[in-house]
Structures are given as C-alpha cells and as structure tokens.
Amino acid sequence: MNNPKCSACGGAMKRNGRTKSGAQRWRCRSCGASMAHRIDSSAKHLKAFLRWLLGKLSVAEAASCSKDTFRRRAERFWKMWPLPVYTGEVHDVVFVDGIYVTRKLVVLIACSREHVLAWHLAQSECSSAWAALMTKVPAPAMVVTDGGSGFRKAARAVWPNTRVQRCLVHVSRQVKRKTTLNPQLDAGKELLELAQRLAKVKGPDAAATWMADYAGWCAKWERFLREFTLKDGRKQYVHERLRSARRSLNALVKEGTLFTFIELQESVGGAWDSTNNIIEGRVNAQIREMLRAHRGLSTMRRVKAVFWWCYMDSEFKVSEAEMLRTMKTDEEVEGLFASASKPKRKQDGSPEEYGSGVSWNEFHIATEYRQ
C-alpha cells in the first residue's frame, strides 16, 4: 500500500536495502532510479494534537505517546495560524462578539446559526478592529451585537445597509447593573421590572406595550430624576445611576436597534433573532471551557487555541494533510510578530500577568470581500 512510484518515470519500485539511518531504500524496476521513502505521519500527529486541544482527553489518551514526544511534535503545530476561509456566502443574520484572552488582547468573532464565519485578533474592540473583522464577511441583512465599543461606527462604514439588533439580554443586564436586583426606590423597582420584561418581547404588540410603558415611566419619574444637590459649588444629581440607565435606553430607542428583529419579521417574514445567545452559548462558552482545560498556556498559544477552535467550527475546513500544506506559519503571517513575551515582573518580583505582551504593528489579512 505504501510502495512509492518512481519520481522520474512513474514506474513501480522495489525494496533495495536500507540507508545508514535505517530508512527503506527503493529502486525503480524500469529506469533504476533510487530513493529513500518514509511514511509521513504529520497529518496523524496534527489530528492527535487537535483531539487533545479541543477535547478533554489527556495526552496519553489523545496521542498514545509520551508527554515529551507529544510536546516535541506539537511545536510545529503551535507555529501554524488557522485563518478563516473567505467564501462570499451571504447570511441573513450574523452574530458578533469578542472574547478576551488578556486585558489587552481580544479575538473578535462572527458566526452564523451553524458555523463560525470569521475571526480577527485585535488589541481592543475599537472601530478599526471591528471593521477588519467585518470586511471578511459579506454584509448580512441583520447583525446581532452586544453593543461593544466601536462597533456602531464600523457598521456604518463597512455594512451601511445592514440592520443592527442590540442583544436584548445584554440591554437588560446593563439596566440591572444600575438598578441592582433589589432596588430600594420605587422608580428603580419599576425600571427593573421593565428590564426583566425586555428579553421576553417577541411580537409587535408586546414591543408597542413595552415602549408605551417605558415612555410612561420616563414621564412619571422625570421630576424625581432631576433632583440634585450642590457639592463644592457643583450640581450633583441624586439618582445618577437611574439617570445612566435611562440614558442608555433612550439612546437605543433613538437608534431604533431594540426591536429590529420585529420590524424584519413584519417586512420580510420568518424568524429573526433578538439575542446573542447563539454566539455566547455555542461559541464563547466552549472556547472558555477549552482555555480553562488548558490553563497555563502562553498568551500566543491561548490566541492560537481560540483560532483553532474557530477554524474547526467553520464550514469550509480542510483535511489535516491540507492544513499542513496551506496554513500560514509565524514567519508568513504579515504584520504579526508572533512571539509570546516572558512574564512581566512587579517590583516585588511577582509575575504581573502570565504571558502578557505581544509585539504589534497591525494584524491584517488581505481579503477579496472589501466593502
């Protein structure tokens, strides 16, 4: 089964002794050309590496070899960058979110209901980072987001015709952080009740009722929320947390991003999502579980672990042998100086944050889907 063919004439070859290193030597029956042939097990080793990285098996269970041998084989695979495949497929709904590897390193992810579509490494959730992610995916009809900083600006520039739906669960949580779960004031209790109802809104009648009730709450407590005191000659509002919650809700009402899914249900038909639960539960939760299972990895290896998870959850992944032939390595990825720095030390000698710090210029991969 593993008998090679002659590279010169394509003829059958026969065994012809062994080399000094013990490799099998072959000789062509037709032209007499000689060659040494070894079975390449790299694809099998990569498959074992991914089985260990993405699962909960031990090294012995995943690779059936010693830990030292596994680490030696894995060094090659840690240098690979599994990047998204650009297909041009247009989706009705795209979910976007970011998962932080360190405080200053985030992987932005875009996914559909079934697969991860694209991912991008950035230092923060700024508008340029979101734009870099969005240029890798054709503009959908609607995008669901938790309202990360910079996203709205990037969406206007890259996906100008895409409708934006703010995740209602995240909006509700933002209000609850201001009111707390046990508010003492009547205004806070009523606003908390409105926040708890928000994620349950599913149709136009429920949305209209919620909007009317919220407008009534604003009118009822307008004078109450204007109460202030003077501190060092400056006006200071008494109920600043409630005012902050009201400002965030007013901004979403003004933008029209609270009930976009209902508008599309009425104009286009079909089911449209109102929350980011798909990317939070199916993608982010599993990535965090993987990172917990492999805690102790350096910064760049945690980043690459996230990249591997996203790639293996994408629709157009290739075989392990093709990955080895086509995937970029550290030296080939443009703009990323891929080296995990040593742990920074505080003045007392203790580590500040394990594996922090990456040498940066920009991490941008060319794509044909520019908007």
Nearest to 276 by CA among 147, 133, 131, 108: 147
Contact 204, 262 (CB under 8 A): yes
Give whole-number Cα distances, 190 to 86, 199, 217, 223, 248, in Å.
Answer: 47, 16, 8, 16, 16
pLDDT band at 33 (very low <50, low <70, confident <90, very high): confident
CA dist., res. 228 & res. 212, Å (int): 27
Q: How many CB atoms lie within 10 A of CB 46?
A: 21
Looking at mean pLDDT, say which of 20-34, 35-49, 75-89, 335-349 comes out highest: 75-89
Summarize the confidence of residues 73-80 as an average pLDDT.
Answer: 93
pLDDT band at 337 (very low <50, low <70, confident <90, very high): very low
Which range, of 56-60, 108-112, 153-157, averages the lowest pLDDT?
56-60
Identify which has the larger pLDDT, 13 or 371. 13
Nearest to 309 by CA among 137, 129, 115: 115
CA dist., res. 45 & res. 271, Å (int): 43
Contact 60, 70 (CB under 8 A): no
pTM of the model: 0.80
Give whole-number Cα distances, 213 to 76, 145, 210, in Å.
Answer: 60, 25, 5
CA dist., res. 206 & res. 222, Å (int): 24
CA dist., res. 174 & res. 193, Å (int): 13
Strands 336-340 and 93-102: unpaired
Summarize the confidence of residues 168-178 as an average pLDDT.
Answer: 94
